[in-house]
Amino acid sequence: MSVIDNVYGVLFEPVNTFRYLKDNKPYGQAILLLVLILSITTVFQTAQLKNTAPLMPDKFSEGIILFAVMSAIMSLLSIFFLSGFVSLLSEMFWGKANAGGVLTTTCFASLPAVLAPPLAYAATITGVEWIGVIFSLLIAIWVFILQLLGIREALEVSTGQATLLIFMPLIILVFVLICIAVLFAITYKGF
């Protein structure tokens, strides 16, 4: 399938498209799409930050651009890490792994996210920021559902298992932070 077929499929026939993506794993298309999404997001976030902070000194504008670019790079790296981690967890718990399938489906599932920054920016410059927040929230829910479907299809697990896999890294992070806090409290009790 071509990129356009995959994009159309993710938007209008996500389950069948994710089944195709998990088997064929078009890494080039997936990474290219994600980089395009992150680039568009970076441009609009930078414009929105500059528009909402006109009183900031000029030195901060370089920082805003650097922050936006670093956010895009971290997003790209995190999707690789989380795809592998989710696949590893799935293999540990249910004996099903497909890191490449998870990577391609989650990259394509991020497609609706390209709409959020332009809509939020348009809402900001028209003075109705609250509409931008609502659009961003709805798009985030849409992306979450697509990622859930993508992980479910890539790993061939149930919807409940896919949901658990999505939240498992967050659960593990919270658990580790609580353990660190407890150890810190025990160690420095009199401090």
Q: Cα(74)–Cα(169) distance, rounded to whole angstroms?
A: 16
Residues in the chain: 191
- Rounded to 5 degrees, φ, ψ at 76 are -65, -45
Question: What average pLDDT does range 40-46 have in this prediction?
Answer: 83
Higher pLDDT among residues 180 and 55, named by residue: 180
Looking at the predicted structure, is the pLDDT value of residue 71 above 90? no
Looking at the predicted structure, is the pLDDT value of residue 61 above 80? no
Q: Are the C-beta atoms of 63 and 139 separated by less than 8 Å?
A: no
- Looking at every residue in the chain, the average pLDDT score rounds to 89
Cα–Cα distance list, 33 to 54, 109, 139, 168 (Å): 32, 10, 17, 26
Q: What angle do CA 138, 98, 148 make, to 5 degrees?
A: 15
Looking at the predicted structure, is the pLDDT value of residue 52 above 80? no
* Model confidence, pTM: 0.85
- pLDDT tens track for 74-124: 988 999 999 999 999 999 999 999 999 999 999 999 999 999 988 888 888
- pLDDT tens track for 115-168: 998 888 888 888 888 898 899 999 999 999 999 999 999 999 999 999 999 999
